[in-house]
Amino acid sequence: MTTLYIVRHGQSEANAAGILQGSLIDTPLSEKGQVQAKHVRDAFEKKMLHFDLVFASPLLRAAQTAAIISPKTTTIFDERLKEFDYGNWDGQKVTDIHRRFAKFFDEKRNLLPGSEKVSHGDDFASITAKLNGFLTELAAKYPTQDILIASHGFTIKLLLNAVLGISNLSSLNEPYNAGLTKIELTASTRTLVYFNRDLTE
């Protein structure tokens, strides 16, 4: 069985400033984000959990998170793990986007399908398809390994869509900064063990 420990990056400087940050805007971890990643590292060390492989989005905030959590393991960067591209919304204040484009968000302010028609960013289906391929590849190449993955909030939601076939992504809250999700894979099965566990307390 392939076991995936998927961590959303720690708080970035853009997160702290309330700026929508997809794949076009790349800021480093804030001081708080670095501390969050260290808490995750300490929690794994306490459980004596070591990773055979580490994958991460090449964006700085995810790369830094992976390096803090597993500093002795070489990180493999994969473009498929980059954050959802919010197009011309990237870099704008989150509150402004919610106000100006309210119909593309639900009552919990989760992004809804169809936003790409206005933002000119990614669409849900194409990113989910890429993540499907990523999961299939991991299960085939690494059938017994424990793998750390450092990625991004909305990408992790779409990854769960690839695992569970969730028709309504609004049922999933955005993962916390440094929130942990665990998934188990075989050649024929995908199982969500838990979602968005907070290890930073």
Positions annotated as catalytic residues are: 9, 83
**Helix-helix angle 60-69:31-46, to 10 degrees:** 40
Q: Is 44 annotated as a binding residue?
A: no
Q: Is 98 annotated as a binding residue?
A: no
Nearest alpha carbon to residue 91 among 155, 28, 151, 26:
26
How many whole angstroms from its chain centre is CA 181? 9
> What region does 115 belong to: left with phi over 0, alpha with psi -120 to 50, or beta?
alpha
Q: Is 90 annotated as a binding residue?
A: no
Q: Is 50 annotated as a binding residue?
A: no
Q: Is 33 annotated as a binding residue?
A: no
> Cβ distance 40 to 8 under 8 Å?
no
Q: Is 83 annotated as a binding residue?
A: yes
Q: Is 107 annotated as a binding residue?
A: no
Cα gap 91→88, rounded to integer Å: 8
Q: Is 78 annotated as a binding residue?
A: no
Q: Is 84 annotated as a binding residue?
A: yes
Burial of 58 (0-12, 13-18, 19+ CB in 10 A): middle
Binding site listing for substrate: 8-15, 61, 83-86
